[in-house]
Structure formats: C-alpha cells, structure tokens
Amino acid sequence: MNENFMKEKPVLPLILSMALPMVLSMLVNSLYNIVDSFFVAQISEDAMTALSLVFPIQNFINAVAIGFGVGMNAVIAFHLGAGNHQKADMAATQGLLLAVIHGVVMTIGCIAFMPAFLRMFTSSESVIELGVRYSVVAFSFTPMIVLGITFEKIFQAVGNMKVTMVSLMCGCIANIALDPLLIFGIGPFPKMGMEGAALATGIGQTLTLGIYLVVYFVRPIRVHIRKKYVSPNKDMVLKLYSVGIPATLNLALPSFLISSLNAILAAYSEVYILVLGIYYKLQTFLYLPANGIVQGMRPLIGYNYGAGEHKRVNQIYRIVLCMSGIIMAFGTIICLAIPGPLIGLFTHTPETIRAGETALRIISAGFLVSAVSVTSSGALEGLSKGTPSLIISVCRYILIIIPAAFLLSRIFGPVGVWNAFWIAEALSAAVAFVVYRRSVSMKRCVCKDQSIG
C-alpha cells in the first residue's frame, strides 16, 4: 500500500474508504445496543431501568478508553504525516502502557462505587440489586474493553479501517448471538438473567481484542509496539494526555448529563428515567454512524495537517459535515414518523410508550443542527486541538442543557426536559461554528509565521 495515500488520494473517495467501514461497524454496534436492551427488557421493566441507571458508568469507562485512544490516534497520525516513524512507535507503545493502567484502576473503582451510585437515583431494592449484578460482571471486562479500543485507535491511525470494521463487527455479532442464550438459558447454556447480558457483552469485547492481537502479530502494520519505548517519555506522555484528557471529558460529559437529567426526572416518575434510557439506546443508531464518519476523518485531518496539506484539511471537514447532516436528517424523519413502535421495542406499558413518543418527537428537532457540533469537535481533536473541542462539548452537555432542563421542568414538567435538548443543540452548534473557525484561523497564522521564520 502507498504510505502517502492519506495525502494523495482524492478527498471524497478517501473519506468514503476510511469512513464507510467504520459506519458499517458502528451500525452493527448500534444494533447490538438495541438488541441487548431488547432482551434485558424481556426480563422485567425493573431490569431495563437498572440498565438505564448503569449506562452512565458504562459510558464513562468507554469515554476514558476512547478519549485517550483519540489522543493516541491524533499523535500517531501527526508523526506519520511528518514522516517520524520513531515518534509514532513511541506514542503507540507508551499509550498502550497507560491504557492498561487506566483499565485496572477503572475496574476496581467502578465495581466498588456502583451500589452507592445506584442509590442516588432509586430506592427500589429490586432495581439496585439488578444493577449491581449486571455491573459486577460487565465491569470485570474493563481491561479488555480498554485494550481493544487502544488497538482500534492504533489501526485507525495508519488508515487500516477494514481490520477495525471486522473486529468490531465480530465482537458485536457474538454479543447479539450470546444475549438470548445466556439470559434465558437456551439449549446447553445456563439461565443467567442480568449476569448473562453482561457476560455476553464481555465475551464480545474480548473477541474484538483477540482479533486485533492476531492481526497485529500476523500482518504487521506501520506502527509497532517496541520494548525500548516502554520507559515513559515526559514530552510524549504530556502530548498524549493533552489531547486525550479533553477528548475523554468530551465523551464523559454525556454520563454526567444523563445522571443529572435522571435526578431531575426522578422527581416526577421512574417512567421518565426509563424513557431517557430508551432514548439514549435509540439515538446510538444516529450518533454511532456519525461517530464512525468522524473516526474516519480524525486520522486524515491529523495526517494532512502534519504533512502541511491545509487545503485538504478544510475539504475533509466540509464533506464530513455534509455526511453527518444526511444521517441526522434521516434520524429526524424516522423519529417523527414512528416514535411509538420505536419505544415499544423496550416496553409494553401504554403510559411509558406515550411519554416516549412525546420525548422522541421533541428531542429529534435538534438532530440535524447537532451535526455541526459533532463534526467540529471531531475535527479539532484530529488537529490535536483538544481544549477548543472540549469547549464545544461543555456547552452542549453542561452549560446549556442542564440549566435549561432544570428551569423548563419547573414550568412544563418532564416535557421541559425534552425541549432542553433541541435548545442546547441549536446554541451549541453556533458556539461550535465560531470555535472551529477561530481555531483553524489561528493554526493558519501559526503556519504562516513558521514559514516566514
């Protein structure tokens, strides 16, 4: 393969070749989220409520793993674009070592914290018991999750999206197949209920990691894990965290948001907590494919910026923005057309379905404009501009939506919370547009100064 394909291939075919495998794997991942929740909902409505309450902590674990992986991805892609393969190998090696440490710490901390966390949002002993049972098994696989995502970002940094697609799809398909077998005890499998759902997820994630490891050792890629780089290098560690920490916070903010909204909605009824949990399962069908496009974009932007191809950076951004917008427009149409059947996948209670229909119709008003925030934030991460990206996410997940949800709920009840979503997306998109333009302009100025010097 031509090592310079990321700066020489025409932009649109290049984005499609990088993004489509990730979009496909993200769609399968979305299907896993839906199927997993569907089978858990068959256990009981308490089980689905427990899964909704555990979700923010699961999201936090993924946020740390993916966020730090984004830092690795950006640093590796930048050094490859600049032709410095030694620094790229150092970034991969030291990033992997730090990821292992993150995984061990989160396994212990999350399992210990879970009972107290659940009691913050419900007094139902049944829901708490189900949530603890699920989380103990699920969080035991945290090191596998973290290592799998780390290798995913390494493969993406060198443009090898097909391996990422196959690995993620195999893990998700295994999870989907094992869910009913382990939850309900079909055939020779034991009936494990909530633990079965968690175990199916963990096995799927372990399979994904296994495929990455086999491919890495059988078909070596341009970036290598080298023993000589195991000893931490201060500058490299700082560089990894300078992008990884803001990216982690970007992804962890939804966990804080969901917990905050759960606290607001708990004052009315657990029905609304369940509706919010269902919404976040359904919206993965939109935001995970959009995230797949962004994942394809990040190494391209980082590589081309490192290679000095600033015009291509702008072209990549505009095309990805259009692609994300198309996905969001499709999602808006679906949520407006069939909200009842979508909610009905997870509950048969008429009251919950009616509340969910209202929520989906209102929240979907913000889907299309959210493409600006999603694309801009991802592009800034690819440019190693973690702080501006974090500003966008803080506005989107904290500064606007939580105060708006609190105030509007006092006026309109739970419906006020749903309206806070589209208000936050509209205002955050305006912030994202300004922040991205200014950040790119500053980079151009720096590049001109360097060329003059």
Reduced 3-state DSSP string for the chain:
CCCCHHHHCCHHHHHHHHHHHHHHHHHHHHHHHHHHHHHHHHHCHHHHHHHHHHHHHHHHHHHHHHHHHHHHHHHHHHHHHCCCHHHHHHHHHHHHHHHHHHHHHHHHHHHHHHHHHHHCCCCCHHHHHHHHHHHHHHHCCHHHHHHHHHHHHHHHHCCCHHHHHHHHHHHHHHHHHHHHHHHHCCCCCCCCCHHHHHHHHHHHHHHHHHHHHHHHHHCCCCCCCCHHHCCCCHHHHHHHHHHHHHHHHHHHHHHHHHHHHHHHHCCCCHHHHHHHHHHHHHCHHHHHHHHHHHHHHHHHHHHHHHCCCHHHHHHHHHHHHHHHHHHHHHHHHHHHHCHHHHHHCCCCCHHHHHHHHHHHHHHHHHHHHHHHHHHHHHHHHHCCCHHHHHHHHHHHHHHCHHHHHHHHHHHHCHHHHHHHHHHHHHHHHHHHHHHHHHHHHHHHHHHHHHHHC
By CB atoms closer than 10 A (0-12, 13-18, 19+), residue 337 is exposed
CA distance 227 to 437: 41
User: If pLDDT is split at 50, 70 and 90, which confidence band does 443 have?
Assistant: low
Task: Judge whether residue 370 has pLDDT over 90.
Answer: yes
Residue with tokens 């929240």: 363
Please give the average per-residue pLDDT across 211-218, as a whole number.
95
pLDDT tens, 226-256?
A: 999 988 889 999 989 988 888 888 778 888 8
Q: Can you give the pLDDT at residue 11?
A: 84
273-277, 296-300, 313-317, 432-436, range with the lowest pLDDT: 296-300
Task: Judge whether residue 381 has pLDDT over 50.
Answer: yes
User: What proportion of the chain, given as a percentage, has pLDDT over 70?
Assistant: 96
CA distance 288 to 213: 24
Q: Can you give the pLDDT at residue 167?
A: 92
| Residue (of 396, 399, 356, 130) closest to 265 by Cα position | 356
25-39, 73-87, 88-102, 324-338, range with the lowest pLDDT: 25-39
What is the rounded average pLDDT for all residues in the chain?
A: 89
User: If pLDDT is split at 50, 70 and 90, which confidence band does 442 have?
Assistant: low
Q: Can you give the pLDDT at residue 449?
A: 45
Cβ-contact 339, 356 below 8 angstroms: yes
Distances (CA, A) of 338 to 136, 197, 253, 356, 421: 36, 28, 29, 11, 19
pLDDT tens, 393-433?
A: 999 999 999 999 999 999 999 999 999 999 999 999 999 99
User: If pLDDT is split at 50, 70 and 90, which confidence band does 452 have?
Assistant: very low
pLDDT tens, 356-366?
A: 999 999 999 99
Locate 24 and state its tokens: 């496909």
CA distance 138 to 121: 20
Which of the two residues, 447 and 114, has the higher pLDDT score?
114
Cβ-contact 151, 213 below 8 angstroms: yes
